[in-house]
Amino acid sequence: MSLTMTMPIHKPVLISEAVEALHAQPGKRYIDCTLGSGGHAAAILKQILPGGQLLGIDADPEAVETAKNSLADYTDSVTIINDNFANLETICRENNFLPVHGIIFDLGLSSTQLEVSERGFSFQHDGPIDMRYSPAQELTASDIINTFPEDKLSQIIKKYGEDHNSKWIARHIIKSRPINSTLQLASVVEKAIGGHRGKIHPATKTFMALRIIVNHELENLVAALKQTIVCLKSQGRLVVISYHSLEDRIVKQFMQRESKECLCPPGTPICKCDHMPSLRIISKKVITPSLSEIKSNPRSRSAKLRVAERL
């Protein structure tokens, strides 16, 4: 796909709240682990200049090219890397970018990824069932839909899409093979559960489950969060924006675990874990978008922002 074509504009979510939570200051170093089109990165750079530096990471090569253009005015202050944030510590060491004063994750999809039919993330436009963040990845959503056995499909849709209709959906997918396009898949799912009755299309959860599996999203998030402890300096901030319960649960549990002095099971008479807290939770209550932001950017409605500080 040509990068010169007109691309949909992505609106960064909770941008002022995220920059404030990062405590971004001039002369300091920050990491944007989900660079996207550079919206959060640009807002951070405005706060950390003069003298500040930002490392931007994204697994999507098209997003990287877009960000390079949108952040062209900050060339001397930003380093952009096309890689997965699961490799966070290695990326930082290779670019001599340790320690840092803040790290941000804005999880989920961008408008660009959703609205470009060739990427296969959405059923709003017909396209191949791809869903890979990077073309270097081998497994596509089409591979899963057309080759996985029924019980495996059902497990994926139930676990990662949190859809109680998973058995019916998997059964209809098997019967409808081969399924070659996003609209065809959406139609199969809709028929499987008896039509479209609510505000959310019945295929939404299946598409989310496929995207999560194809890109190993949850495993990569767990891996990256662990590495933030190594990368952050004392009083450095960790800011994470998530969009569904599976992501948010991982972030919440990570921050809670790393803020505790002991991880031994309840009732253990003497602590044997030797765990030392590495984080202090800043946002005791999750931060969500304002009504005005949701109105201007409906895709922000499910966003949840959590903040912690390195001890």
pLDDT tens digit at each of 311 positions of the chain: 434 344 455 688 999 999 999 999 999 999 999 999 999 999 999 999 999 999 999 999 999 999 999 999 999 999 999 999 999 999 999 999 999 999 999 998 877 787 788 898 998 889 999 999 999 999 999 999 999 999 999 999 999 999 999 999 999 999 999 999 999 999 999 999 987 777 789 999 999 999 999 999 999 999 999 999 999 999 999 999 999 999 999 999 999 999 998 888 887 888 888 889 999 999 889 999 999 999 999 889 999 999 999 99
Q: Alpha-carbon distance 197 to 309, whole Å?
A: 44
Radius of gyration over every alpha carbon of the chain, rounded to an integer in angstroms: 20
Residue 5 CA, chain-centre distance (Å), reads 25
Enumerate residues 6+ apart whose C-beta is below 8 A from 9: 37, 111
Give the DSSP H or E segment for 99: none
Q: Alpha-carbon distance 158 to 170, whole Å?
A: 10
Buried b (16+ CB within 10 A) or exposed e, 129-157: bbbbbbeeeeebbbebbbebeeeebbbbb
Strand partners, 279: 310
Q: Smallest Cα–Cα separation from 169: which of 127, 132, 126, 210?
A: 210
Helix 39-48 to helix 15-22 angle (10° resolution) is 40
Which pTM was predicted? 0.93
Domains in the chain, ordered, with CATH? Answer: 15-112+217-310 (3.40.50.150), 138-214 (1.10.150.170)
